[in-house]
Structure 1
Amino acid sequence: MTMTEKQKMLAGELYTSDDPELAADAARARDWMARFNAAPAASADETYALLVEGLGHVGAGVTVRSPFHCDYGYNVHLEDGVFLNYGCVVLDVMPVRIGAGTQVGPGVQMVTADHPREASVRAQMLEFGLPIVIGRNVWIGGGAIILPGVTIGNDAIIGAGSVVTRDIPVATTVAGNPARRLVSRVIQKPRTV
């Protein structure tokens, strides 16, 4: 049995993104994003209802500040208490799973879409994707980029502006391009006078 382009995409195989079924899915996502991004003054209940409508899974207490952008929405899974700040972009040709209590700074990009390395295959307008998994209680600083296939362990910290090209272990702090492990230091809260 021949797979549809959408089935190929969801299986992580090479697919053509201009397929009519995927184009219709992307158009639905664009319509949803237009409504979501045009409603920054909506009540918490209205915002939650919009998130549930447009995304694959939305846990309790999730906050997503607009503008927010994605390819399809149905591959975005946010567990309880996830916070996405302004301007996040999630290219969700494959699942993006974000664990409970994770905080994501402004302008963060999570990119599951990838392209063949061979020029002749790339010229055929084929692409593929790899999932992204982000654990619980992770803090991702503003402007970070998470590349296809990355898993970030629970309690990790990703420095602002980092480009995460490989898996990050539990409770590890990384920063830079490419992101590298930092020795974590405790920063004391300022004392009141």
Structure 2
Amino acid sequence: MMKEYEKMMAGLAHLPMKSELTEMRQRAREILFEFNRTSPNDEETQNNLIRKLFAQADETTSINEPFHCDYGINIKVGKNFFANYHCVMLDNGGITIGDDVMFAPNVSLYTVGHPLDAELRNIGWEQAKPIIIGNNVWVGGNVVILPGVTIGDNVVIGAGSVVSKDLPDNVLAFGNPCRIVREITEQDREYYIRTYRSDV
């Protein structure tokens, strides 16, 4: 018989208030409590706590407090990951993030959902689907990414977007619901250099 954690990670209906999952969330909350009250000048302690919490992180991981997640052990981040203030990752279904990814303030990743039927919902059933984010992605402020979404490499998501569908590589997307506006091309690089850089 599958345990509740195994059901959760398989995307099946599960009961999060079972002791197994409750204990796992409590461990994460204890680490997060310490992280969120650590001095911002003590970057080494903050980094060590995140590496203790996440399944994958390294010395290049940088997260501004406050930060919140459900389990932590279901989060994997690549090199040079940065999350600004008030990031929330409900990582029940697993979150995988590539290299050189930046989150603006108030970015939320929700891998978990609940039944539409009120009776089932009130019993406590839920289910989860993974979120996958590629390399070189910039996520704007107040963006919400919903369960089961995959985001490709080199994507920029505009502020305030609600992302409910997959996004391919090399696109600018924004809106509620989030939609692809256009491809990101070499012209964007040239425009930036001409407009903003004074060293060339």
CA contact 1:40–1:65 (8 Å) conserved in 2: no
Q: What is the one-letter code of the residue matched to 2:134? A: G
Question: What residue number does 1:163 align with?
Answer: 162
Q: How well do the aligned residues superpose, as a CA RMSD in angstroms?
A: 1.7
1:115 Cα offset (Å): 1.4
Identity %: 37
1:62 Cα offset (Å): 1.0
- The question of 1:176 aligning with 2:175 is answered yes
With structure 2 as the length reference, what TM-score do the two structures score?
0.90
Q: In proportion to residue count, which structure has more helix?
A: 2
1:46 Cα offset (Å): 1.8
The partner residue of 1:190 within 179, 192, 196 is 196
Query: What CA distance in whole angstroms lies between the structure 2 residues aligned with 1:96 and 1:89?
Result: 12
1:120 Cα offset (Å): 4.0
CA contact 1:60–1:79 (8 Å) conserved in 2: no
Deviations, residues 85-144 of structure 1 (Å, cap 9, x unaligned)? 110000010110110000011100000001123344334320000000000000000100
- The question of 1:61 aligning with 2:67 is answered no
- The question of 1:132 aligning with 2:138 is answered no
Query: What CA distance in whole angstroms lies between the structure 2 residues aligned with 1:52 and 1:123?
Result: 35
Instruction: Write out aligned runs for 1:90-169 (5 A).
Output: 90-169=89-168
Show structure 2 runs of 5+ residues with no match: none
Cα 1:170–1:120, aligned 2, differ >3 Å: closer, same or farther?
same
Query: What CA distance in whole angstroms lies between the structure 2 residues aligned with 1:102 and 1:191?
Result: 22
Query: What CA distance in whole angstroms lies between the structure 2 residues aligned with 1:119 and 1:142?
Result: 32
Secondary structure of the residue that 2:147 maps to in structure 1? Answer: coil
Query: What CA distance in whole angstroms lies between the structure 2 residues aligned with 1:151 and 1:132?
Result: 6
With structure 1 as the length reference, what TM-score do the two structures score?
0.93
Residue-pair matches, total? 192
CA contact 1:61–1:81 (8 Å) conserved in 2: yes
Cα 1:190–1:114, aligned 2, differ >3 Å: closer, same or farther?
same
Secondary structure of the residue that 1:126 maps to in structure 2? Answer: coil
Question: What residue number does 2:78 align with?
Answer: 79
Q: What is the one-letter code of the residue matched to 2:2? A: M
Q: What is the one-letter code of the residue matched to 1:182? A: V
